[in-house]
Amino acid sequence: MRNTLVVYGRDGMQLLVRLLVAAALLASAPASADSWMPAMQKTYLSSNKTVRLTVIPRDLEDQLSYFSDKVDGKEPAGQRKGGEPQARAILERRNGRAWTKIWQAPLANEVAPVSALVTNSASYVVTFDNWHSAGFGDNVVVIYRADGSQVRSMRLVDILPEDYIRALPTSVSSIWWSGEHALSNDGRQVELKVVIPNSRGAIDTPRGYLNVLIDLATGAVSLPSGAEWDAAMAAAAPLTARSKASEATWRAFAIAALTAPKDDKVADWRRYLYQAAKRLAPKNQNAMGFGPEWILPSENEPDFVERARDIRSIFTNWDKPDDLMFASPSAPEAMARTLKEGAESGVPGRLAGSRLFVALPEALAGDVRSALKSTGATVIVFDPSNPIPQRSETLREMGVAPDQAEAEATKAAAAAKQFEADAVRLEALASPAPAMSKSDDADTEEVMADVLDAAADHATEDIQRSDNPHD
């Protein structure tokens, strides 16, 4: 799966976006390379089999409940009534045929770690990552002492440079940064296997792995040096530059006035409608967050009749407040007519609490505004031939004075071009990536990536560094 843009200074926001996307995919999509099994109790043995760690996850109703609660800000997200209230672990030593408890303590993970290691001496336990969000959070690596207390809880940026992390492969839920970790023979260090990314950022084909050592007594991190580290940084450099190019491209897009697509591609118009709604009105607390868009095709298209019928049915069947968006780049007159017919045949006041965003030429706007009043919705009709400036409060959040928006957009666009040029130059300097064969799941992964690109735009009103809107 392709790399998607990650902003590591806003870890919580990026994780929320991915949880929102995961919730949508879980409800509608088949399993993929990014699917996760439910968190389950696991047991980890020391290498000499004399010490064991049992990890008991927090009990969830199901994955969808967890994601839905995250979206709604309800904690503890997805908690099963009467179930295990928090992740915990039990460390035991073998005593003949029996096991004697050494300690039992809560874990730093919200639901469960992904994996763990335990030393032969039982002096240390190390856990790795968080269920359904590998690479994210304050506890990517956590070291516990012999009494269950923490030596250190580490974020990924506590282990690796931020520019290196940018190059690591990502998916809907996670940063796939690691291989199979191990403990040193003397039980004093953990040896992290860190992915060396290839030029495509694919999850399952790293160039190899770096050995990053962490002292268990202190939590001190030791990065490799010399040719091994230089080669890894050279492999990561073009991917990092491309990530920065994507970020700068998004910034230019977000700052500049929004213009309608020059073509009639449905995906482009859906994204345009969503961005237009964000700029034309403040956030609607009643909205579900994934505002539906209806793009009416040309009257010559085979699905015109069905799509027009769907639009008219909104005025009789829609049953929840939301932001609803409409456009027809090929047939604006037909869209105006369809909306008026729907409003006339619909239940008066049925759309109270909703907002209707309608992209139509100004010549058609007046009649549509009048017709839609009966719905009870807030009606916002806008002419797609007119650029829509970014909201002033959004610009200020991005550190841009409204009167400097044009200059800042130009600067960001120039930065994107420079980063892209850097990526091309750095690719030429790096050694060739290993050959890749297209797996049976490759097409599915590309589809999932496209879904992520589109759904990330819908995930939250506050995203300021998400996927490039012109992917």
Is residue 469 situated within a structural domain?
Answer: no
What is the pLDDT at residue 23?
A: 46
Q: Which of 161, 176, 191 is the last residue of a domain?
A: 176
Q: CA-CA distance, 448 to 452, in Å (whole number)?
A: 6
Is residue 142 situated within a structural domain?
Answer: yes
Same domain, 65 and 169: yes
Is residue 232 situated within a structural domain?
Answer: no
- Considering its fold, how many domains does the chain have in total? 3
Same domain, 357 and 440: no
- Work out the burial of residue 32: count CB atoms within 10 Å of its CB; fewer than 13 is exposed, 13-18 middle, 19 or more buried: middle
Same domain, 324 and 452: no
Q: CB neighbours of 144 closer than 8 A, spacing ≥ 6?
A: 89, 105, 124, 125, 126, 127, 150, 151
If pLDDT is split at 50, 70 and 90, which confidence band does 461 have? very low
Same domain, 368 and 425: no
Q: What is the pLDDT of residues 37-49, one digit of tens each?
A: 889 999 999 999 9
Q: What is the pLDDT of residues 212-228, one digit of tens each?
A: 999 999 999 999 999 99
If pLDDT is split at 50, 70 and 90, which confidence band does 431 have? confident
Same domain, 367 and 436: no
Is residue 281 situated within a structural domain?
Answer: yes
Same domain, 53 and 167: yes
Is residue 207 situated within a structural domain?
Answer: no
Same domain, 357 and 403: no
By percentage, how much of the chain surpasses pLDDT 70? Answer: 82
106-123 burial code (b ≥16 CB/10 A, e <16): ebebbbbbbbbbbbbebe
User: What is the domain extent for residue 429?
Assistant: 243-255+398-459
Q: What is the pTM of this model?
A: 0.75
Q: CB neighbours of 45 closer than 8 A, spacing ≥ 6?
A: 51, 52, 53, 118
